[in-house]
Amino acid sequence: MVFILLSDEVVGTLGEGTFGKVAECKDLHAPGNRVALKIIKNVEKYREAAKLEINVLEKLKEKDHENKYLCVKMYDWFDFHGHMCICFEMLGLSVFDFLKENHYIPYTLEQVRHIAYQLCYSVNFLHENQLTHTDLKPENILFVDSEFTSVYNPKKRRDEKTIKNTEIRLIDFGSATFDHEHHSTIVSTRHYRAPEVILELGWSQPCDVWSIGTIMFELYTGFTLFQTHDNKEHLAMMERILGSIPYRLAKKSKKQKYFHHGRLDWDPKSKAGRYVRDETKPLSRYIKEPDNHDHTQLFDVISKMLEYDPRSRIQLKQIFRHPFFLRLYEADLVKSVDLSKNEDRSRSHSLSR
């Protein structure tokens, strides 16, 4: 396995994090062929997380030889002096990094439709195989190729980019969890965290669906739906945007300190209360073109994904029937999603078996 280090030349660093770094490497035996090498710190908890990610990626590969389901392709992995190293296909920028580098100019509705459609398709594959990603966010959705065209905006005195190809891949399976495995109490990056996780009600695949709803909103508007770092403030934002948290969920929550008689204990006149009021509004008021059917359909999908009760939240296998996505399905992209199957059928072909 050390062959990779001997046969590859490090070109540069693609990114760094608490886990370690990702380096761009050139395969010296195949000029022009680039790979991304994720190098994990020699720290036990990161090594263990890397092993779990490798296990998930290997099982995904077993079920998807042709890489139809848009999960990042792992070429190889090895242990180099205590550093777990995972070799991936080379991809472009994340949808978040492209947005950031483009002055947070939102993606067009058609771009949002295509990106979200692919994301639903990929994550549905995980769900059908009893796996929850648990960390869906714009940073973990990468363009296959982030080439763009650029036009100068004289009013704002800046270049504005348009991505050429919206084909994506899903990455970062380090927190992915099979149904039979231990479920950590808290999962997901804060802004994309579902209410059942915050309320400690237990979670499963529907928490991914919530995350996708928030991601779709962010791609469409250019900003994060729940811009907060505090649990109670997060819940208050949800109520401002989506309406009151259902009484039955509040009463079941292990976080009773957030509630009083089954209602969120929140002062809208406080400093935090004013922030929530000023920064958020009901979901429907974010629609840019309320008279445009495509825009209202998008928000209908998002609202179904942002149902408080995970049992009522739309499942991804139902998403392809929605008018917002049906045209893409009929045009082709995902003919392997069988819309005729019974929604309540037991899932088979588990990756974990």
CATH code, domain carrying 79: 3.30.200.20
Q: What's the rounded Cα separation, in Å, for the pair 40 and 20?
A: 5
Domain range for 29 is 9-89
Residue 344 lies in a domain: no
Name the burial class of residue 350, with classes exposed (0-12), middle (13-18) and buried (19+) by CB atoms within 10 angstroms of its CB: middle
- What pLDDT digit, counting tens, does each position of 41-59 carry? 999 999 999 999 999 999 9
Q: How far, in Å, are 26, 58, 207, 284 from residue 228 at the CA level?
A: 40, 36, 18, 20
Highest mean pLDDT among 11-25, 199-213, 328-342: 199-213
User: In the prediction, which pLDDT does 28 show?
Assistant: 66
257 shares a domain with 293: yes
Quickly list DSSP for 151-164: EEETTTTEEEEEES
User: In the prediction, which pLDDT does 12 show?
Assistant: 84
CB 37 within 8 A of CB 2: no
Overall pTM > 0.85: yes
Q: Which residues are annotated as a binding site for ATP?
A: 38
- Point out the least confidently predicted range of 29-38, 106-115, 228-237, 292-301: 29-38
178 shares a domain with 75: no
User: In the prediction, which pLDDT does 29 show?
Assistant: 63
- What pLDDT digit, counting tens, does each position of 236-287 carry? 999 999 999 999 999 999 999 999 999 999 999 999 999 999 999 999 999 9
Q: Which residues are annotated as a binding site?
A: 38
Domains identified in the chain, total number: 2
268 shares a domain with 178: yes
Q: Averaged over 311-337, what is the pLDDT?
A: 84
Pairing of strands 141-143, 168-170: antiparallel
99 shares a domain with 52: no
164 shares a domain with 269: yes
User: In the prediction, which pLDDT does 183 show?
Assistant: 95
Q: Averaged over 322-337, what is the pLDDT?
A: 76
State the chain's mean pLDDT as an integer. 91
214 shares a domain with 164: yes
pLDDT greater than 80 at residue 9: no
Catalytic residues: 135
User: In the prediction, which pLDDT does 220 show?
Assistant: 98
Q: Averaged over 8-35, what is the pLDDT?
A: 82
